[in-house]
Amino acid sequence: MELSLARLVYYSRNRIAGDALPEIDAILASSRRNNAGAGVTGALLFNMGCFGQILEGPRRAVEATFERIQRDERHGEVSLLDFQGIDERAFSNWSMAFVGSSKLDEDRFADIAGQSGFDPSRMSADSLFEILHSLALEEERRSD
Ligand X SMILES: Cc1cc2nc3c(=O)[nH]c(=O)nc-3n(C[C@H](O)[C@H](O)[C@H](O)COP(=O)(O)O)c2cc1C
Residues in contact with ligand X by the rule CB under 6 A:
27, 30-31, 34-35, 44, 51, 53, 55, 65, 68-69, 72, 74-75, 96
Asked if residues 35 and 41 have their Cβ atoms less than 8 Å apart, the reply is yes
CB of 42 to ligand X, least distance (A): 6
Q: Helix axis angle, 103-113 relative to 125-142, nearest 10°? A: 130
CB of 69 to ligand X, least distance (A): 4
Q: For ligand X, give the closer residue by CB, 74 or 89.
A: 74
How far apart are alpha carbons 59 and 40 in whole angstroms?
9
How far apart are alpha carbons 31 and 104 in whole angstroms?
23
CB of 107 to ligand X, least distance (A): 23
Q: For ligand X, give the closer residue by CB, 42 or 139.
A: 42
